Amino acid sequence: MTPRILIVDDEAPARARLATLLADIAAECPHELVGEAVQAQQALDSIATLAPDIVLLDVQMPGMTGIELAAHLAQAGPPGPAVIFVTAYDEYALKAFEVHALDYLLKPVRASRLADAIRRVNGLQQKQKLSEVASTLQSTRKNFSVQERGRLLLVPVAHVLYLKAEAKYVTLRTREREYLLEGSLSALEQEFSTQFIRVHRNALVARDAIIGVERGAQLVDADSETDKAQESWQVILQHIDDRLPISRRQWAGVKALVR
pTM of the model: 0.51
DSSP single-letter state for residue 141: -
φ/ψ of residue 99, rounded to 5: -100, 25
Q: Note the CATH architecture for domain 143-258.
A: Beta Barrel (2.40)
Contact 33, 26 (CB under 8 A): no
Q: Which of 163, 159, 160 is nearest to 200 (CA)?
A: 163
In tens, the pLDDT along 171-202 reads 999 999 999 988 889 989 988 888 999 999 99
Which tens digits make up the pLDDT trace of 140-167? 568 888 888 777 788 899 999 999 998 7
Beta bridge partners of 103: 84
Q: How far apart are CA 57 and CA 179, in angstroms?
A: 33
Q: What is the CATH number assigned to the segment(s) 4-139?
A: 3.40.50.2300
Q: Of the candidates 209, 213, 218, which has an alpha carbon nearest to the alpha carbon of residue 239?
A: 209
Nearest to 80 by CA among 19, 18, 129, 31: 129
Beta-ladder partners of 214: 234
Domain spans in the chain, listed from the N-terminal domain onward: 4-139, 143-258
pLDDT tens track for 76-111: 666 779 999 999 888 888 788 787 888 899 999 999
